[in-house]
Every structure is written in structure tokens, then in C-alpha cells.
């Protein structure tokens, strides 16, 4: 139904009431919801990107024990940061966190609350910045992630395909509370309700977020280029304590063993060299005197 101008005629008050009610019913007491520390929330937001909540619970706590503050993360060796990130996928995010922590440390050690300042940090995009603003600072934001999209599409765009974020963002601007004066209905509570209702919908109905124009099916990991990069980095990290690094022959043999055990063709020497050069250009490793190290 439209309002005569081509825009959808939405009962946003009823939508808000429904979401807040489902949020109270479905609330998940997750560890990162027990803090308002911007750094701790930032780490949770990055870890939760394309990663199941159950995998992050435990890893988030361990990360904070090892790197409890932005200053501690900034001072850490990149190899230690990458080592702690292993198993969470998308290793670029670990390097981006490290660079962003160094930028935060240079600014005095406190994460900013302004959207532009947050998005200026390496690896911090609109969704991460919005999550930090809402969950750490209780500030209004447009927090568009997959569970939030699921709710909007299920309730307000039933049956519609390829719905753009451009159509969804104004709804979030209109429905997100503008301040934290009501503890039962503030930006933090509002987005927790959307997240929990969205998680419930994805378990109980065909995933509504697949009807988003932003939805992209994740490619197969095993045997992919990403898998080979990740395995190469794992080999390099396993040898990071060796003086001078690890030689090419050892890297080649370990990668060949991994691929053969998985029933895949071993990489050729030129393919391994190309992977090493690729990781080196991105800052994951560096060549030494006939060897490589993280």
C-alpha cells in the first residue's frame, strides 16, 4: 500500500510496538551486552560480522584478556593479533583492528562517538560505527545488518524481492529513538530488539534477509583462494618464533600436506610464491634472508 506519492504507507508506531514486544520476549543475554565500554563493543561488532554468535562467545572474552584496551592492542605485535584472531575468518579484519587501535591510541586512547570519526578508522564501516554508537553511547544510528534487515523485510516488505538498503535506512531513522531518556526504549534497547527478533525469524521462517538487495551468498570456503591464504598464514604463524622465519621449502611441504590430506591437488611452487607475495603486499608477512616471517 502506498500513500499516493509512491512511498509505502507504513504504520511505524505499530511496527515499533511489535518489535519492542518481541525484543522483550526473545532477549538474548549475550556477554557483550553487559558492557558499555566502546572498545569492548567495537571488538564484538567486528567479530560478529558473518560469524555465528556461538563462535564469538568465548573468543571475545579471550581477546579482551589478551588485549584489554586499545592501547594494549596498538602495542601488540601484528603476529600476536593475527594469532589471536585465528579461526574467526577474514584475517584482514585483525590487521584493520590493529591499525585502528593505533589510530585510537594516537588520539588519546578513547573511541570517538561521532559517526564520521568512527568511520575514519581503518576497517570501520557504517554498520560497525552505528553499532558502536547505539550500544556503547546510546546514540541514534542507522544500524543495518542481516538480522535487522530480516525484521524490516518480514514485517514491512512481505513478498518483495531485491529490497535496497536505500529503502530500509529511512525506516530506521524514523524508528530509532533519538535519545536514551527511556531505558526501556532507547537506541541500545531498540537495536537489541531488532537483532533478537531477526535471529528468531531466521530460525523459524525462510530467511527474509535473502530478499535484500544487499544479500550475497557466501562462497564455499574449503578449496577456495581464501582457504589457501588462511592456511598459508596459519603455517607462517606456527613458525613465528623461529629466528629468521621459515624457509620456502618448509612452507611448500606443509601446504602440500594439508591439501593432500583434504583430497585436493597440492599447490605448485609458483602458486605458493604468488600467495606469499600477495600476503606480503597486504602486510601479513615479510620476506627475509631466504625465509618468511609474520
Sign of the four-CA dihedral 173, 53, 198, 216 = positive
**Can you tell me the distance from the alpha carbon of 45 to that of 5, in angstroms, rounded to the nearest whole number?**
37
| Torsion, CA 126, CA 128, CA 129, CA 130, rounded to 10 | 80
Count CB neighbours of 151 within 10 A: 27
pLDDT at 9: 66
Q: From the first residue on, what is the mean pLDDT of each consecutive set of 10 residues in the chain (294 residues)?
A: 48 96 98 98 97 96 98 97 96 98 96 98 98 98 97 97 97 95 93 98 96 86 93 96 93 96 96 97 93 94
Query: Whole-structure pTM over 0.85, yes or no?
Result: yes
DSSP code at position 291: E
pLDDT at 241: 86
Report pLDDT digits (tens) over 73-124.
999 999 999 999 999 999 999 999 999 999 999 999 999 999 999 999 999 9
| Residues involved in catalysis | 45
Amino acid at each position: 500500500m502506498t500513500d499516493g506519492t509512491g512511498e509505502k504507507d507504513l504504520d511505524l508506531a505499530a511496527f515499533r510496538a511489535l518489535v519492542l514486544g518481541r525484543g522483550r520476549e526473545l532477549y538474548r543475554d549475550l556477554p557483550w551486552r553487559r558492557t558499555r565500554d566502546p572498545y569492548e563493543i567495537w571488538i564484538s561488532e567486528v567479530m560478529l560480522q558473518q560469524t555465528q554468535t556461538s563462535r564469538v562467545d568465548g573468543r571475545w572474552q579471550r581477546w579482551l584478556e589478551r588485549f584489554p584496551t586499545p592501547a594494549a592492542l596498538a602495542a601488540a605485535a601484528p603476529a600476536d593479533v593475527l594469532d589471536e584472531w585465528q579461526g574467526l575468518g577474514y584475517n584482514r579484519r585483525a590487521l584493520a583492528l590493529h591499525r585502528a587501535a593505533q589510530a585510537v591510541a594516537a588520539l588519546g586512547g578513547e573511541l570517538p562517538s561521532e559517526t564520521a570519526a568512527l568511520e575514519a578508522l581503518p576497517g570501520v564501516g557504517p554498520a560497525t560505527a552505528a553499532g558502536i554508537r547505539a550500544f556503547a553511547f546510546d546514540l541514534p544510528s542507522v544500524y543495518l545488518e542481516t538480522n535487522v534487515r530480516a525484521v524490516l523485510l518480514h514485517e514491512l516488505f512481505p513478498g518483495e524481492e531485491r529490497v535496497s538498503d536505500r529503502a530500509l535506512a529511512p525506516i530506521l531513522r524514523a524508528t530509532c529513538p533519538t535519545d536514551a531518556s527511556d531505558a526501556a526504549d532507547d537506541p541500545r534497547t531498540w537495536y537489541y530488539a531488532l537483532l533478537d527478533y531477526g535471529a528468531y525469524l531466521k530460525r523459524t521462517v525462510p530467511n527474509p534477509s535473502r530478499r535484500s538487495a544487499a544479500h550475497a551468498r557466501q562462497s564455499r570456503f574449503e578449496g577456495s583462494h581464501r582457504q589457501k591464504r588462511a592456511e598459508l598464514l596459519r603455517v607462517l604463524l606456527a613458525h613465528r618464533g623461529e629466528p629468521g622465519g621459515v624457509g620456502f621449502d618448509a612452507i611448500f611441504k606443509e601446504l602440500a600436506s594439508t591439501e593432500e590430506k583434504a583430497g585436493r591437488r597440492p599447490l605448485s611452487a609458483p602458486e605458493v610464491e604468488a600467495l606469499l607475495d600477495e600476503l606480503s603486499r597486504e602486510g601479513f608477512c615479510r620476506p627475509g634472508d631466504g625465509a618468511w616471517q609474520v
